[in-house]
Amino acid sequence: IMSKYVARVGPAVFSKLGKWAYNMSGFNQYGLYRDDCLYENEDVAEAVRRLPRKLYDERNYRILRALHLSMTKTILPKEQWTKYEEDIKYLEPYLNEVQKEREEREEWSKTH
């Protein structure tokens, strides 16, 4: 069922401190989303693998653009920065599913 794969837009809880930390991180100046910057452990890699082609391609485009901007020591114009309130957590539903499956496997392994 595709309905469970609805990406959350914006923060779960809005706070001025959260917005400040988001803007200080700097990744938004390259047009990246928070989910583009997650440490790629096994769970994240599996969640990325499960992304629909369109989301996967969009993610790769943002990352390649950010790498290019970083190499040229430039950032996007401010109006193109990713805004705290508009950050799309596109990977979150897939990652939650992967983590839940892993936890179930670990629990099952303990009992068998």
Cβ proximity of 48 and 102 under 8 Å: no
Bridge pairing between strands 8-9 and 88-89? antiparallel
Q: What is the pLDDT of residue 7?
A: 79
74: Cβ–Cβ under 8 A, 6 or more apart, which residues?
A: none
DSSP state of 15: -
27: Cβ–Cβ under 8 A, 6 or more apart, which residues?
A: 34, 36, 37, 66, 82
Q: For residues 65 and 29, give the distance between their C-alpha atoms in angstroms, rounded to a whole number.
A: 11
* pLDDT, tens digit (0-9, with 9 covering 90-100), for 16-32: 998 999 999 999 999 99
Q: What is the pLDDT of residue 4?
A: 67
Q: For residues 7 and 111, give the distance between their C-alpha atoms in angstroms, rounded to a whole number.
A: 34
Q: For residues 58 and 14, give the distance between their C-alpha atoms in angstroms, rounded to a whole number.
A: 26
As averages over each run of 10 residues, the pLDDT of the chain (112 residues) reads 67 84 94 95 97 97 97 97 94 95 91 78
Q: What is the pLDDT of residue 9?
A: 83
Q: Which residues share a beta bridge with 88?
A: 9
- Domains of the chain in sequence order: 16-111 (1.10.1090.10)
Q: What is the pLDDT of residue 14?
A: 78
